[in-house]
């Protein structure tokens, strides 16, 4: 993050504002393993969590304790066995498992209770709620192996959890569950987190992991994936040491069952959680059910977003200046392209009394999104709408983008071909070039 007081910081803070508004009263499920606590990274995570709570986010935290359990079993000289990445919890190991989980939980609660002056936790008011929210059942026999006291989530007490969240408390879930017969079962972090996110219909499910996120064959981090795209990166064989193998299928399951977004973020970056959530680029991989981009008709609520998009181009002389009042009057002529609720492109179609000719105007794409064919997508949207209205020709006036339109079938034309109203308003000082395309 840039230094406070610098132009970069002001720009970053302003860019974060839409997310701050959008996240208020939303529910996030954040899951992290015991290795984060073991390695001493819980402090910075607590700072990030405190920031989210102060912004009105409802938090459900799910922790793991695998390294702590391994250590206790080793000290007790008890076996440490896994089947497909899931611990086989034997009767003799249950007490060691519970002690390790309890130790981790107490450490998390203590860290979240800090309120030291002159620190990010100053005046923090994170009230941690716990309880028997998770009902579990035994996994049973898996491929001939009795998993004994290892279990899976059967159901969650959603009503009780929502009561705690509405009361302003942060829920902390441990990887254990209880059966109606009073037995306790050791659960996996990913099962508890995913089941909770789905049951609450959370807005986000976030896993903190060792890897930076999902990478392609060339090692490039993939910032965004749909559930269908993410399936191509689910391994055919499970690697017990690779967090992605466990968490990516959970993300796909979550978004397909109603969770808004799922995120895979490196646990090694201080402030990584905030960077992922409050910047356009993020630092990890975000999985959504469908594409994050939508092209739709503009509404009056989009005026501010359109102005923010076109004003820099107006100052550069690329677009003709439009007042807010004019834009409000003409808003029904506009279409907008949204990326995760942010307007990144716009275009308008202006018709005239002549009927068979119309203007493509106000075409703009945010600088960060200009390499993905979005301008052409907006242009084709206007062409489809024009054909629907039985319009035979489209024209455009431009001073800077002549070649872009020529490459897409527009041809140079004289001012005289313009409709009478447009010809009357033509700015001879600006000397925009006219291009026309027959549909």
- Per-residue pLDDT of 74-124, as tens digits, reads 999 999 999 888 999 999 999 999 999 999 999 999 999 875 444 555 556
User: What pLDDT, in 10s, does the model give residues 210-237?
Assistant: 999 999 888 889 999 999 999 999 877 6
Residue-by-residue DSSP string for 384-408: HHHHHTT--EEEEEESS-HHHHHTT
Whether residue 181 lies inside any domain: the answer is yes
Whether residue 233 sits in one domain with residue 138: yes
Q: How many CA atoms lie within 13 A of 188 on its CB side?
A: 20
Question: For position 118, what pLDDT does the model report?
Answer: 47
Same domain, 109 and 122: yes
Question: Which residue among 291, 307, 327 closes a domain?
Answer: 291
Residue 331 lies in a domain: yes
- Same domain, residue pair 287 and 298: no
Domain CATH for 191: 3.40.1160.10
Determine the average pLDDT of the residues in 26-49.
Answer: 94
Q: Are residues 389 and 283 in the same domain?
A: no
- Give the range of the structural domain holding residue 404, as residue numbers without chain letter: 294-438
Q: Does any domain span residue 2?
A: no
Per residue in 357-394, pLDDT (tens digit) is 999 999 999 988 887 789 999 999 999 999 999 999 99
307/396 same-domain check: yes
Residue 283 sits in the same domain as residue 340: no
Burial 373-398 (b: 16+ CB within 10 A, else e): ebbeebbebbbebbeeeebeebbbbb
**Domain total in the chain:** 2
Q: Determine the pLDDT at residue 419.
A: 93
Percent over 70 (pLDDT), the chain: 94
- What CATH number has the domain bearing residue 389? 3.40.630.30
Domain membership of residue 124 (yes or no) is yes
The whole-model pTM stands at 0.75
For residue 1, tell me if it sits in a domain.
no
Q: Do 345 and 367 belong together in one domain?
A: yes
What pLDDT is recorded for position 166? 95
pLDDT of 152 > 50? The answer is yes
Looking at the structure, tell me whether residues 285 and 311 fall in a common domain: no
Q: Using an 8 Å Cβ cutoff, are 22 and 260 in contact? A: no
Position 57 pLDDT exceeds 90: yes
Averaged over 275-298, what is the pLDDT?
A: 89
SS3 state at 307: helix
In this prediction, residues 300-308 reach a mean pLDDT of 93
The yes-or-no verdict on residue 4 having pLDDT over 60 is: no
> At which of 265, 291, 317 does a domain end?
291
- Cα distance between residue 78 and residue 362, in whole Å: 70
Same domain, residue pair 144 and 159: yes
Q: Provide CB contacts within 8 A for 434, sequence distance 6+.
A: 395, 396, 397, 412, 413, 414, 415, 417, 418
Q: Are residues 385 and 427 in the same domain?
A: yes
Same domain, yes or no, for 226 and 317? no
Q: Which of 233, 263, 291 is the last residue of a domain?
A: 291
Q: What tens digit of pLDDT does each residue of 337-353 get?
A: 998 888 999 999 999 98
237 in the same domain as 91: yes
């Amino acid at each position: 993050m840039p230094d406070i007081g610098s132009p970069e910081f002001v720009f970053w803070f302003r860019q974060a504002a839409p997310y701050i508004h959008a996240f208020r009263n939303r529910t996030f499920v954040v899951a992290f393993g015991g290795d984060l606590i073991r390695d001493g990274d819980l402090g910075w995570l607590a700072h990030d969590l405190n920031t989210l709570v102060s912004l009105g986010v409802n938090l459900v935290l799910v922790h793991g304790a695998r390294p702590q359990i391994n250590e206790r079993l080793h000290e007790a000289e008890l076996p440490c066995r896994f089947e497909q990445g899931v611990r086989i919890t034997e009767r003799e190991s249950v007490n060691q498992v519970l002690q390790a989980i309890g130790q981790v939980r107490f450490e998390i609660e203590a860290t979240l209770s800090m309120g030291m002056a002159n620190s990010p936790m100053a005046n923090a008011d994170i009230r941690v709620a716990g309880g028997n929210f998770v009902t579990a059942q035994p996994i049973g026999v898996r491929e001939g192996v009795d998993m004994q006291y290892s279990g899976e989530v059967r159901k969650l007490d959603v009503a009780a959890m929502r009561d705690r969240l509405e009361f302003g408390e942060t829920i902390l879930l441990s990887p254990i569950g209880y059966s109606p017969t009073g037995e306790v079962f050791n659960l996996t972090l990913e099962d508890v987190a995913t089941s909770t996110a789905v049951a609450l219909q959370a807005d986000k499910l976030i896993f903190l992991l060792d890897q930076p996120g999902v990478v392609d064959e060339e090692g490039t981090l993939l910032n965004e994936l749909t559930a269908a795209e993410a399936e191509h990166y689910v391994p055919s064989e499970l690697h017990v040491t690779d967090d992605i193998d466990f968490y990516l299928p959970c993300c796909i399951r979550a978004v397909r069952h109603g969770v808004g977004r799922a995120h895979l973020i490196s646990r090694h970056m201080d402030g990584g959680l905030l960077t992922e959530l409050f910047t356009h680029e993020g630092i990890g991989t975000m999985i959504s059910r469908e594409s994050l981009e939508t092209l739709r008709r503009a509404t009056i609520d989009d005026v501010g977003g359109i102005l923010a998009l076109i004003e820099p181009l107006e100052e550069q002389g690329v677009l003709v200046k439009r007042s807010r009042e004019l834009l409000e009057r003409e808003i029904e002529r506009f279409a907008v392209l949204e990326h995760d609720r942010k307007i990144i492109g716009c275009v308008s179609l202006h018709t005239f009394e002549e009927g068979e000719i119309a203007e493509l105007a106000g075409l703009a794409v945010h600088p960060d999104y200009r390499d993905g064919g979005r301008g052409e997508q907006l242009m084709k949207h206007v062409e489809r709408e024009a054909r629907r209205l039985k319009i035979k020709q489209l024209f455009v006036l431009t001073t800077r983008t002549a070649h872009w339109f020529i490459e897409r079938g527009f041809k140079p034309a004289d001012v005289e071909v313009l409709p009478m109203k447009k010809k009357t308003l033509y700015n001879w000082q600006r000397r925009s070039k006219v291009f026309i395309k027959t549909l």
